[in-house]
Amino acid sequence: MHQTPSGGAGSGTATAAGRLMSIGAVLARLRDEFPEITISKIRFLEAEGLVEPRRTPSGYRKFTPDDVERLASVLRLQRDHYLPLKVIREHLDALARGERVQLPAPGGSREPLLDGAPETDVEAPTAARIGRAELLAAAEVEEGELAEWESYGLIGPQEDGGYDIEAVPVAKLVAELGRFGLEPRHLRVMKAAADREAGLVEQVVAPLRRHRNPQTRNHAEKTARELATLSVRLHAALVQSALRTRLY
């Protein structure tokens, strides 16, 4: 017969407590998949309500395996989908309630109408916004860096003070280029080229956006995304071709 270890009913509690992890242990666990994770980022996610670790009587954080998995899910959604933390929190909370929810798109999207379905006068959702603190945390950059990039026009807030969700990948790429010695002043030419390309796309879709038919206006957004994708591909091909001419 299996003998119960000394300690009686308290042994189960001890086992559960043994599974709890300090914030340092959580950092080590997450760094395999997320090398840039920091203790400050974990604390920020806690402050934003994305995870609620237990606290010891002396105030130390203790994380359960579920807490660690939730943190990993948050970081994946930020990394792969650039979703704002509010959207991520609502999405994960819905999953925790057992609800079947579809992963939200960063800028909002509409399901295509089925064949024969009636057209409805519904505007597409506006693009997602994130706050300054969210942008700094998601891009893993410092306030001084963001302020410098803003001074060169590489990134900027909207009229409501928030940032478009696309600011996150922009910030990450600017930071990555900086590691190769490319400073914000060097990147202004790229920003100018992007603005010109966006202007061309706008000219093409402008007549569609002014159309009275909501289906046609929605088609304008799809067309703009397709043109943007082609523009990026052409830009990359032209850069590769120019480099091949100069270097090889």
Model pLDDT, residue 97: 83
Model pLDDT, residue 81: 76
| Domains of the chain (ranges, CATH numbers) | 20-96 (1.10.1660.10), 126-182 (1.10.1660.10), 184-248 (no CATH)
The letter for the amino acid at 89 is R
Which tokens hold the place of 30? Answer: 């997450």
Calculate the average pLDDT of the chain: 79
Is the pLDDT at 195 greater than 60, yes or no?
Answer: yes
Is the pLDDT at 14 greater than 60, yes or no?
Answer: no
Model pLDDT, residue 18: 53
Is the pLDDT at 135 greater than 80, yes or no?
Answer: yes
Parallel, antiparallel or unpaired: strands 61-62 and 54-55? antiparallel
Model pLDDT, residue 151: 93
For residue 164, the 8-state DSSP code is E
Inter-residue contact 156 to 166 (CB < 8 Å) = no
User: What band does 8 get if pLDDT is binned at 50, 70 and 90?
Assistant: very low
Q: What is the mean pLDDT of residues 115-144?
A: 63
Q: What is the mean pLDDT of residues 160-171?
A: 86
User: What is the b/e burial string over 221-243, where b = at least 16 CB atoms within 10 angstroms of the residue's CB?
Assistant: beebeebeeebeeeeeeeeeeee
From the list 173, 162, 228, the residue with the least C-alpha distance to 195 is: 228
For residue 98, the 8-state DSSP code is T
Inter-residue contact 113 to 119 (CB < 8 Å) = yes
pTM of the full structure: 0.51
Is the pLDDT at 69 greater than 90, yes or no?
Answer: yes
Model pLDDT, residue 4: 40
Is the pLDDT at 163 greater than 80, yes or no?
Answer: yes
User: What band does 103 get if pLDDT is binned at 50, 70 and 90?
Assistant: low
Q: What is the mean pLDDT of residues 188-213?
A: 86
Model pLDDT, residue 149: 94
* Report for 72-81, 130-139, 150-159: range of highest mean pLDDT: 150-159
Which tokens hold the place of 159? Answer: 């009229």
User: What is the b/e burial string over 163-196, where b = at least 16 CB atoms within 10 angstroms of the residue's CB?
Assistant: bbbebbebbbebbeebeeeeebeebeeebeebee
- Per residue in 110-126, pLDDT (tens digit) is 333 333 333 333 333 33
Instruction: Please report, rounded to a whole number, the percentage of residues in the chain having pLDDT higher than 90.
Output: 21
Give the containing element (helix H, strand E) for 81: helix 65-81
Which tokens hold the place of 40? Answer: 């400050």
